[in-house]
Structures are given as structure tokens and as C-alpha cells.
Structure 1
Amino acid sequence: MKISIDKVTINDIQKLREIGRSTFYEAFANVNTEDDMKDYLEKSFSEEKLKTELNHKDSQFYFARVDGNVVAYLKINLGEAQNENIDNAVEIERIYVLKAFHGKKVAQVLYQKAIDIACEQGVRYMWLGVWEENHRALRFYEKNGFKAFGKHAFWLGKDEQTDLLMKKELAHSNELKTS
């Protein structure tokens, strides 16, 4: 299975909206109320919000494709786009993969893309927030060397949830290559 990575452009907004909504729903619908999911999906994946995010100079989106089909995506934030004020860092805001492609190294390929960008930027840290109940994602990030360093609130509809903040110090060498 060959995985290709493409930068998302404003012309891809409908495909981004579709993969964003699909992957988030697959990941969290069974552990949240229908109303909270509907509210979150409508607000977070509206065309207007995605256009704003895509046009932000410090945010980047990438699709992972298998056989030409989008199966996952990555969103990273630099500088002012980061959700927390962490100096000398790049934030992985989202890595979401369709369930049919879990365990097929798609997330690892997207993660490596994020590492490559962080190294190009010359930052010292990569960081992210992950829901404390998302055990699959926690295992993935721990396996890749991330350590918890704090928490913040994440609202899904009317439900306040807790994200663990995790970060990894980067060595900026070829040893970072995982693919």
C-alpha cells in the first residue's frame, strides 16, 4: 500500500470538510451525545471556519492518500496559530485517519511529515493536545516519544473534556526519520 501526502489548498475545502467530519465522527460518536457531536461537527468543520484555518499563514493541512483516495489528514500550527503559547515549537493539532486505515502506518506517515516540517522550521519542540480518554492516540504519541506536561479544557458541544498536553524535544538529525 503506497501512501502519498499532499498539501491541502483552498480548492480542497470540501474534501477537507468531508474527511474531517468523517474521521472525527468515527473516533468519538460512540462516546459523546448525538447533540454534542452535531454541534461540534457543524462549528468545527463549517466551510467558513475551514477557510479561515486554511488561509492562516501559520497553519498547514496535509492529506494522506491511498490509491488516490483521501484516507486521513494532518493539521499543524506554527507561531501564532498554536492553541497554546509554547515557544520554539510546532503543534500537531490533528492527525485523523479513517478507521478502515488504522494500523496501516498512515498516521505514522503523517506524523513523519509533521516532524519534517518542525525540523525545517528549526524548532526545539513538537507538541499536541489529546483527549485523556483517547487511549489509542495516547499510545501512538507515547510510542513516538511524547511526554505529558499539562492539561487544558476542550469543549465538545456542551461537554467539557480534558486534553492532555504532550510534547517531544526534537534532535534535528536523521535519527528522527521513522519511515
Structure 2
Amino acid sequence: MTEHALPAASVIRRARRSDARALSGFAARLFRDTYGSDTAASDLESYIDKNFSTERQEAEIANPSAAVFVAISDDLIIGYADVVLRSADGASALLNRIYVDAEWRGRGLAGGLLDAAIGESAQRGATHLELTVFERNSRALAFYKRAGFAATGSTTFMVGDDPQTDVVMQLDLIGRLDGRSV
């Protein structure tokens, strides 16, 4: 994994149950900002209500098959990543989300969060990390390609009642713990 220089006065750590309320608000705001122009408001709010409630964030943080990392600056969440081990043997991990506040983008924070997710997945024995990303999110697609992810197909992602197309990407984790860079 690469050491990413984090912005001054920021730290990446495991999320705590006490972060759930702030994480809920942060995730909902970023989801609206990122996808609001591509999705009807009713579908957007339906997705947010289902996926970003405080209770849902508490459950994701407590999930023993997952790890949620938060990036903090001045006691505020400025980014987060959520990774889940998917298969019974742990060979597959899903990078469920990486969100970084717009004013913090381009400063290495997404790379640091990705490193945390990759490290967690590899330490738990996953051999590959998968993700899906909205086909129109060119910034995220370019970031994941630079990090070594390869497109392997596409899938339908439902936002409320709106079917959207996501690109499926995968990263081989074999050898990731021996210091090779992302």
C-alpha cells in the first residue's frame, strides 16, 4: 500500500458507534450533492432514508464482517469508507463506499481511505476487492483506474425506483500487504 500524505490536521480511524449520527448526515449530504442532478428528488430521498439513517450507520459500524473508516478534521467527518467481506471464505471484499467532502478532494484523502479499506480486506484474507461506481461519475472512475482497479462488467443500481448503471471494478489484493503500492 502507498502511504498517502493526508491533509494537515486530519486523521483516518475506525468509525465508532458514537460517529453514527454525524456519519448519517455526512453521507446523506454527499449523496445528494453527488447524485442529485442525475436522480429525481423522490428517488434520491428514498435511497437516503433507507441507507443513511443513524440506525443503519450504527449497524454498519457494528457489523463484524465490515469495517467503516472515517476521516476527521477539527472533529468533523470529512470522508469515509465502508468495506464488507462478502463470501463465506472471505476471499471477496466489497468496497461499499468512499465519500470525500468536495472541499477536501484532491488532497490524498480518498487514497488514504482506499488504503485503509485495502489493508483491512487483505488482513482479513480477501484476495480481491470489488466495487461498483456510477457510470457517469468520471472522477471516481479515473481514481479507481489509477489505483489499479479494472472494469469487469456492469450492474443495475437502484436509487429509489430509478435503475442506474454502475461499472463493476475489481482489484487483486494478492501481495498487497508486502508494501507494494496501490
Q: What TM-score results when the alignment is normalised by the length of structure 1?
A: 0.88
Secondary structure at the residue paired with 1:109? helix
* 8 Å Cα contact 1:78-1:89 kept in structure 2: yes
Runs (4 or more) in structure 1 with deviation over 4 Å come to none
Partner in structure 2 of residue 139 of structure 1: 142
Matched, 1:174 2:179: yes
Equivalent of 1:26 in 33, 45, 48: 33
Aligned positions, number? 173
Contact 1:26 1:99 in 2 (8 A): no
Unaligned regions of 5+ residues in structure 1, if any?
A: none
More divergent stretch after superposition (50-59 vs 130-139): 50-59
Give the equivalent residue in structure 2 for 1:17.
24
Secondary structure (helix, strand or coil) at the match of 2:28 reads helix
Alignment partner of 1:39 out of 42, 46, 60: 46
Deviations 1:16-55 (Å, cap 9, x if unpaired)?
A: 1011111111111122111111111111112332233223
Counterpart-to-counterpart distance in 2, 1:21 and 1:55? 19
Aligned with 2:123 (options 120, 124, 132): 120
Per-residue deviation at 1:70?
1.2
Q: Quick one: which amino acid aligns to residue 28 of structure 2?
A: R
Aligned equivalents of 2:164 and 2:122: distance in 1? 31
Q: Whose relative contact order is higher, 1 or 2, with alpha carbons under 8 Å and at least 6 apart?
A: 2
> More helix per residue: 1 or 2?
1
Identity fraction in percent: 27
